[in-house]
Amino acid sequence: MANQKVRLNKYIASTGFCSRRKADEYIEAGKVTVNGEIITELGYIVSVKDRVMIDKKIIKPEPFVYIRYYKPAGYITTMDDEKGRKTIYDLLPEEVQNLKPVGRLDKDSTGLLILTNDGDFINDLTHPSVKVPKVYRVTAQGKLNLNDLEVMEKGIEIEKGQIAYALARIIEFEGKNTVLEMVLHQGLNRQIRKMLDCLGHPVISLKRLSMGPVDLQGLKRGQFKYIKPKQVNEIRAYLKKLIKNASK
């Protein structure tokens, strides 16, 4: 940012503290101070020379970092767990301990996680209106048929008033079980597991293969790699198109 002046919400997002939308909420709630003064004006302009605090905590811009991570089973996707369960941060090295996950995978699921300290990037990848496709390889109990796939595409009520959708195709049958490729544009909690439970075909294994243009290529289980600046720019261009389409 050098000494350039920017809107307060953009400054806050540049610290990795949260997204611009969330920053606006903090500002409107009177939780943000600049040089000791409470600021509630959304368009307020600041520079790196200003002392910005949220809930009395100083926040400063830091370089954005992005990684791809192949999550193994047995770990939850959170920075801290009150129940003392093992988290992905028990596996990740100190150099990336400050990065936040873009969405989650439950304890028993494996596959792609993106982690970053870029709040806007996280918001764009996970916002419901953007509909970033997420691809999964799923093994389910029993043999599903075309009718089951149609039901998932039309939508299943997995919770009262909560309809989940998925595009799915059968890859193969493994004995009495079915291997599926499933594509989600939603981010509901344990969505695939709940959908297949409703159909009477509980999930045996679930792996996320990709999220938008980002995939697991070149990663071994438990390994992470930095996403290079060129790749980040390509992802941003991809998201920009999705956001533009969503606004039409």
Please tell me whether residues 82 and 111 are part of one structural domain: yes
Structure confidence at residue 175 (pLDDT)? 95
Q: Which of 24, 106, 197, 215 is catalytic?
A: 106
Contact 192, 235 (CB under 8 A): no
pLDDT reading at 172 higher than 80: yes
20 confidence band (pLDDT: 50, 70, 90)? confident
Whole-angstrom Cα distance, residue 76 to residue 111? Answer: 12
Assigned domain for 1 exists = no
* Statement to judge: residues 14 and 50 lie in one domain: yes
106 is catalytic: yes
Same domain membership, residue 203 and residue 146: yes
Same domain, yes or no: 49 and 78: no
Q: Sorting pLDDT into bands at 50, 70 and 90, what band is 193? A: very high
| Integer Cα distance of 184 and 211 in angstroms | 10
pLDDT at 82: 78
- pLDDT band (50, 70, 90) for residue 66: very high
CB 225 within 8 A of CB 219: yes
Strand partners, 153: none
Q: Under a CB-based contact definition with an 8 Å cutoff, are residues 107 and 76 in contact?
A: yes
**What is the pLDDT confidence band of residue 243, given thresholds at 50, 70 and 90?**
confident
Q: pLDDT tier at 47 (50, 70, 90 boundaries)?
A: confident
**CA dist 134 to 125, 130, 152, 166, 209, Å?**
10, 12, 15, 10, 8
Does residue 15 carry a pLDDT above 90? Answer: no
Range scoring the smallest mean pLDDT among 106-110, 218-222, 242-246: 242-246
- What's the number of domains the chain is made of? 3
Domain containing residue 26: CATH number: 3.10.290.10
Domain coverage including residue 88: 66-129+213-246
pLDDT tens per residue across span 106-155: 999 999 999 999 888 998 899 888 999 999 999 999 999 999 999 999 99
Residue among 98, 8, 89, 113 at smallest CA distance from 62? 98
- Residue 13: predicted pLDDT: 85
pLDDT value at residue 247: 76
Per-residue confidence at 198, pLDDT binned at 50, 70, 90?
very high
Same domain, 71 and 116: yes
Mark whether 78 and 185 lie in a shared domain. no
pLDDT at residue 43 is higher than 70: yes
Local confidence band at 3 (pLDDT 50, 70, 90 cut-offs): low
For residue 67, is pLDDT > 80?
yes
pLDDT above 90: percentage of residues in the chain: 76
Q: What is the mean pLDDT of the chain?
A: 93
Give pTM, 2 decimals: 0.82
pLDDT surpasses 90 at 215:
yes
- What pLDDT is attached to residue 206? 98
Residues 81 and 147 in one domain: no
